[in-house]
Structures are given as structure tokens and as C-alpha cells.
Structure 1
Amino acid sequence: MDGQLQFFLVHPGGPFFVRKDDGHWTVPKGEFPADEDPLDAAVREFEEETGYRPSGDFIPLHPVVQKGGKRILCWGMAGDLDTAALRSNTFELEWPPSSGKKKVFPEVDRGGWFNMEDAQRKIKAAQIPLLEELAGVLGMHKPG
């Protein structure tokens, strides 16, 4: 988009995030066992959440820690993902609560491409340093 750096973010699926937008988007991510290579896990999780298997030159970024203590490892890369073609894995949840009924929800309900300003507004606050670091590594970060 006019030579402007774009970030791909995903919005969490499920009933708790239906009406939540700014500050709730995230990089595609997930947990992995200690014996799995972190980059291999990141590629697997990205594919599970989007239906797209990334490949190319991965740029390692410094880990960040979210409010709840979850440590996020992340890589940047060039790519072109059609957000309309996004396909996510699913999870099962009792919904409504205490109803005894199980419902299936997508782990990610949508994805989007955002410029720096919009990405900083959309993404979880603890993940903003990932955006800034990637922009800096690519020489596209303008200190504020």
C-alpha cells in the first residue's frame, strides 16, 4: 500500500471478544511444548489460525510479556495474505455459561492489514513493541 509498512493482525474469536475491537487484536500466536523449535511452532500456529503457511526470510523480534505473564515470541516477514480467505481452527466452549450446551467457535474470527498508527491502536498494548521493533529493523520507524 504505497510503500507503507503494513502489519497483519488477527482478532480473537469466541463470545468474549464479539464486541471488543481496539486493544484486543494480536499477532497470530499460541503455546508450544518445550521440545518444539519456537520458529516451527510460530509457523504452525500461524497456519492453524489463518489457513496460510508462512515461508520466507523470518526476522526474529525480542520477546514481550503480556499482563498475565504470557511471553510472546514473534517473527516478522514479508507476505501477502488475503484476509477474505482466512480459515481458523476452532475451540469448543460451554455457551451460554452454565447452560450445558457446547458451542464451537473459531480461534480467530478475522484478520486485517494495518498501517503503524492503526496497528498500534488495534493490537494489545503489550505487543506494541513488536510493531515498533520490526519497523525499526526495516528502517521504517519514525521516532515519535
Structure 2
Amino acid sequence: MKEKRSAGLLLFRHTEDGLEVLLGHMGGPFFAKKDAGAWTVPKGEYEPGETAWDAARREFREELGLPPPDGEAVALGEVRQTNGKIVTAWAVEADLDPETVDPGTFTMEWPPRSGRVQEFPELDRVEWFGLDRAHALIIRAQAAFLDRLAEHSAE
């Protein structure tokens, strides 16, 4: 079985309260009532033949319904999530109004074994968070991206 790979863009901005990052809350019924561990860098899977960078930009557009921002991309490297998926991310400094997001959707059978297929948003909301709050909410393995961004911003 080949490894699943995802790539994404972590937007960040400097405010008077410090560094903030834009995270998305995973859509669908599994995460509807969860907060901690249900927030993610906007990202998605890609196949061989597509570069991680191209996939990160494509997935940003698909997940948020907005063009990916231009700007210097800060490579944040890779992490391996508990499900085995390898995620590659870049940080880009940009501001974005969460109200402008028009998320992409996915379909799945819900409830399980019901025969009913329903459509859900990829991300049901996006929000800006300071690094401490983001650490408390993001998928555990992706917290490394926050640490690497903080190190880069301190340079």
C-alpha cells in the first residue's frame, strides 16, 4: 500500500496581539461536535506526478473557494499524522476574511450503512488563532508546523 500524502498552505499574519494562523475545522459528521484535534492546515491529498507545492495551492482553492495568496512561501517541512498520512506544508503571510470562504464539499454515506449519500463541507469554518490557541486545537502532528513557523518568525 502506497503512503497517502497531503500538502497545504498555512496562512499567517502579524497582529498587535502577536502571530496568528488560519486553521480550518474539518467538516462532516465525525468532527461536528469536536473542537480540540479537529482543526487543520487547509490541505489535501495528491498523487505522484503532481508536486506538493502545486497540490498545496490547488487544495487551498478547493477547500476555501479562494485563490491561494501570493507571497513568499516558507517551507515548514513534513509531518506524519497518526493515520500514517504524510503532510507537507508551507506558510504564506496573508490576510483573509473568514467570511469570504466558500468551502468545497465531499459526499459520503451517512448515517453509515443507511444507503443515503449526503454532502458535507470540506471545512465547515475557518478562523484566525494565536499560536497558543492553535496548538490546543490543531491535529497533534500538525502542531510541529506551528512550532516551525514560530521559529522562522523569530529569526
Q: Which of the numbers 38, 41, 53 marks the counterpart of 2:67? A: 53
CA deviations 1:51-96 (Å, max 9, x no partner) are: 1222211111120110111111000011111111111111111112
Q: Aligned residues, how many?
A: 140
Aligned partner of 2:88: which letter?
Answer: L
Rounded to whole Å, the distance in 2 between the matches of 1:59 and 1:134 is: 8
Rounded to whole Å, the distance in 2 between the matches of 1:49 and 1:13 is: 10
Partner of 1:134: 149
Partner of 1:62: 77
Please, which runs of 5 or more residues in structure 2 have no aligned partner? Answer: 1-14
> How far did 1:98 drift?
1.8
Instruction: Say if 2:63 is the partner of 1:15.
Output: no
Partner of 1:2: 16
- Larger strand proportion of the pair: 2
TM-score, length basis structure 2: 0.86
Rounded to whole Å, the distance in 1 between the matches of 2:95 and 2:124 is: 19
Rounded to whole Å, the distance in 1 between the matches of 2:17 and 2:27 is: 31
Where in structure 2 are the equivalents of 1:11-50 lying within 5 Å?
A: 11-50=25-64
Percent same amino acid at aligned positions? 44
Q: Secondary structure at the match of 1:5?
A: strand
Q: Is the 8 A contact 1:52 1:81 kept in 2?
A: no
Please, which runs of 5 or more residues in structure 1 have no aligned partner? Answer: none
> How far did 1:109 drift?
0.5
Rounded to whole Å, the distance in 1 between the matches of 2:17 and 2:136 is: 21
Aligned partner of 1:8: which letter?
Answer: L
> How far did 1:3 drift?
5.5
Rounded to whole Å, the distance in 2 between the matches of 1:17 and 1:139 is: 33
Rounded to whole Å, the distance in 2 between the matches of 1:67 and 1:97 is: 23
Rounded to whole Å, the distance in 2 between the matches of 1:51 and 1:4 is: 27
CA deviations 1:77-136 (Å, max 9, x no partner) are: 111111111111111111122221111111110001000100000101111110010110
Partner of 1:112: 127
